[in-house]
Structure 1
Amino acid sequence: MQGINAMKLVNLALENEAISTVPANMSSLFRSATPSSNMAANDLSRDATLSMPPDDSISSLSWSPAANFLAVGSWDSRVRIYDVRTIQTGTGVAAIDFEGPVLACDWSKDGTKVAGAGADRSAKLLDLNANGAPAQTVSSHDAPIRSIRFFNMPNANAPMLATGSWDKSVRYWDLRQQTPAATLVCHDRVYAMDVKEQLLVIGTAEKHIHIVDLNAPTTIFETRDSPLKEQTRVVSCFIDASGFAVGSIEGRCGFQYIAQKDQSRNFAFRCHRTLPDKDKTVQVFTVNAISFHPVHGTFSSAGSDGTFHFWDKDAHNRLKGYPSVGAPISATAFNMDGTMFAYAVSYDWHKGYAFNSPQHVNKIMLHPIAPNDCKPRAAVTAAGRRR
């Protein structure tokens, strides 16, 4: 690896330490939550492989909110930007280089800028309207940056960046300045982060979940314990900013609402686990990614078992499940209108750095979304009745 020593590799690998087996003692809250025979019917034969993939593990995927451009962050120390508007296999159009593995990337809300961040403790910004000007370093931390998100401050015209780091802080950056506009001190290392409208959710080590109202960005509105038992891997905000989902290394997802009146709707369920074997144990896999459909508000989960599934959180139904792709799925993202689903197939570090090797596959797949694939089941049924 470029620009990162062995100790940092150990630390990065420990972030994804996984559980191998647990007793199978309770049924799932979700119907069809465990693998079933109908998954084979949901084949992946129409999925396209993005050309010119990264050379190492893929850490993050982010679609432009304005057009079908996809940003890809990788452990090969680069953010790549692909144009997928006309050619399904994509065309590489730009890149941002770093001095260490990239752990996160994101697009500005207007689709003109891409930011990435990672183990070299810096965040860099590429302005696609800057006539080929190189990427600029816009932030720095005292430890690797694990998460990065664009957001717009209320009544502000300029976009801002939030960067979450293992130095136990989130820093806010006005892109017109070289120093942070503000800093939020967290309870522990930042492992995951997401923004929707004025809601910022931060998942840290020791299973803390910080909820922040970006109208008051330097104040933690509320800190909750994760609803899951083990280490947080991902957090993702609902599309209406009323709550968030959290995924962990124990093969479970949890859903939390912000408003006190909605607390009775909070729940968690098991996924990305095998069926019980003869000893009544199941294999448990890390939930690496949770992505919400931008139109329907349903969601996907994907994990180190190499599968992804579409779910309806309100009806507690699995909409579709797909067979394993043969390697971990490390990142996912829906495009701007929810007609395409990108998923990265690569080593996700769930077995630690010692198990990484050049033989691991690294590829980005583009899965077309049929009209009813991610639509809530009730809406599909109602449409059928009207016909």
Structure 2
Amino acid sequence: MSTQFELAQNPVDVISAVKFARNDHNRLLVSSWDRNAYLYDTHAEPGGTLIRKFEHPAPVMDICFGRDDNEAFSCCLDWNVRRIDLTTGDLTILSQHEKGVRNVVFSATHNLLISSSWDETLHLHNLSTPGQHAIVKVESKPFSISVSATKLVVAMSSRAVSIYELATLQEASTISGHAQPPVWQNRESSMKYMTRAVCCMPNDAGYASSSIEGRVAVEWFDPSEESQARKYAFKCHRQTVDGADVVYPVHALAFHPVHGTFASGGGDCVVALWDAVGKRRIRQYQRFPSSISTVDFSADGRMMAVGVSPGYENATEDVPDGPTKVFIRTLTENEAQAKKK
């Protein structure tokens, strides 16, 4: 039976990311504009337990687990990328960008931490060689990044998308300073408006991206004409209000690690599940109390974390009143499974 509950001891400002650990499926990291990162045990007791809070000097924009469940990495509006020892609470600066850092992702296969900043660069941190990092200039301002088993997708302003091979980035990461690894593919977004999120498929076949204008696009890596003909975009997260069609930004995307379906979350306070291959909606959940800012599935696919924050799409300091909460949903065995035709 599916159940849903609200985490106890929630952040007090906009939630920027929720991330489950790879091994302990009850372990959850949450980053927030309240300048903290939080580590929870979601099922230690009813409502979960806050294990530890990690204070930063500025809003924390993203977070991810590292080489094991006791290591994390964060990025911040103070321009810094940090390693967090989740056991001792120690924070160590790994690199500093020249503007705020929007995203951080880790590839366990390549032992590679990648951060993306509004200074139009990526920082490549090869964890085998601590103390140095490579700086990669990208085409424009990165809005969202995601890794698959072999690829990094960088979604940027001006509707630009760059796809890198992680093996190439791993090689470049051994350089201390500026590096310019070749881009595997440059693409233009399938959507007309600004990209909000990008997320790679768990089978390494492609990715989904979302826009501020209530659309999601699904594309495949294979550059063949036949494969590229499969890509499509669709409208979602829209509501009729007083007879008018209101369009909401789609802030969050997350692929289910087992079934390969994906969740989208929008400014309409709704999370929906989609079958990317079958091009159909599987289900839509009842409205949450605030705009959906972030979504993630546990590695075993049995849980979904949903971060909600009022006025998230406005990105202003004058956040309207409303709840800032994290919800944990335990999924039934077939809840996120594509429906048979």
Q: Whole-Å Cα distance in 2 between the matches of residues 334 and 257 of structure 1? A: 21
Secondary structure of residue in 1 paired with 2:228: helix
Q: Is the 8 A contact 1:334 1:342 kept in 2?
A: yes
Matches within 5 A, 1:119-138: 119-128=77-86, 132=88, 134-138=90-94
TM-score (norm 1): 0.80
CA RMSD of aligned residues (A): 1.8
Q: Is the 8 A contact 1:196 1:239 kept in 2?
A: yes
* Residue aligning to 2:42: 84
Give the AA of the match of 1:51: A
Q: Is the 8 A contact 2:289 2:323 kept in 1?
A: no
Q: Is the 8 A contact 1:153 1:215 kept in 2?
A: no
2:159 corresponds to 1:207: yes
Q: Whole-Å Cα distance in 2 between the matches of residues 121 and 194 of structure 1? A: 20
* Residue aligning to 1:38: none
The correspondence for 2:105, drawn from 136, 149, 157, is 149
Where in structure 1 do 4 or more consecutive aligned residues deviate above 4 Å? none
* Residue aligning to 1:29: none
Deviation at 1:366, TM superposition (A): 0.7
* Residue aligning to 2:258: 295
Q: 1:63 to 1:202 in 2, by over 3 A?
A: same
2:228 corresponds to 1:263: yes
2:125 corresponds to 1:173: yes
Secondary structure of residue in 1 paired with 2:83: strand
Secondary structure of residue in 2 paired with 1:216: helix
The correspondence for 1:356, drawn from 319, 325, 328, is 319
* Residue aligning to 1:13: none
Matches within 5 A, 1:5-24: none
Q: Is the 8 A contact 1:65 1:109 kept in 2?
A: no
Q: Is the 8 A contact 1:286 1:304 kept in 2?
A: yes
Q: Is the 8 A contact 1:249 1:286 kept in 2?
A: yes
The correspondence for 1:365, drawn from 315, 327, 333, is 327
2:282 corresponds to 1:319: yes
Q: Whole-Å Cα distance in 1 between the matches of residues 245 and 143 of structure 2? A: 26
2:19 corresponds to 1:54: no
Give the AA of the match of 2:73: A
Q: Whole-Å Cα distance in 1 between the matches of residues 317 and 65 of structure 2? A: 33
User: Identical aligned pairs, as a percentage?
Assistant: 27
Deviation at 1:88, TM superposition (A): 4.6
Deviations 1:62-116 (A, max 9, x none): 0001112000010001110101243351111123221111111111253331111
Q: Whole-Å Cα distance in 2 between the matches of residues 224 and 348 of structure 1? A: 31
Secondary structure of residue in 2 paired with 1:290: strand
Q: Is the 8 A contact 2:109 2:149 kept in 1?
A: no
Q: Which protein, 1 or 2, shows the higher relative CO under an 8 Å CA cutoff with sep ≥ 6? A: 1
* Residue aligning to 1:198: 150
Give the AA of the match of 1:161: L
2:35 corresponds to 1:72: no
* Residue aligning to 1:252: 215
Deviation at 1:376, TM superposition (A): 1.2
Q: Is the 8 A contact 1:298 1:311 kept in 2?
A: yes
Q: Is the 8 A contact 1:202 1:209 kept in 2?
A: yes
Q: Whole-Å Cα distance in 2 between the matches of residues 58 and 348 of structure 1? A: 11
The correspondence for 1:309, drawn from 248, 272, 292, is 272
Secondary structure of residue in 2 paired with 1:377: coil
Q: Is the 8 A contact 1:329 1:348 kept in 2?
A: no
Deviations 1:291-325 (A, max 9, x none): 10010000100011000011111111211112222
TM-score (norm 2): 0.91
Secondary structure of residue in 1 paired with 2:8: coil
Q: Is the 8 A contact 1:105 1:116 kept in 2?
A: yes
Deviations 1:331-378 (A, max 9, x none): 111111111111011124323416414x33111001121112111112
> More strand per residue: 1 or 2?
2
- For structure 1, the 5+ residue unaligned runs are 1-43, 382-387
Deviations 1:124-145 (A, max 9, x none): 11233xx525121112100000
- For structure 2, the 5+ residue unaligned runs are 170-180
The correspondence for 1:345, drawn from 308, 313, 319, is 308
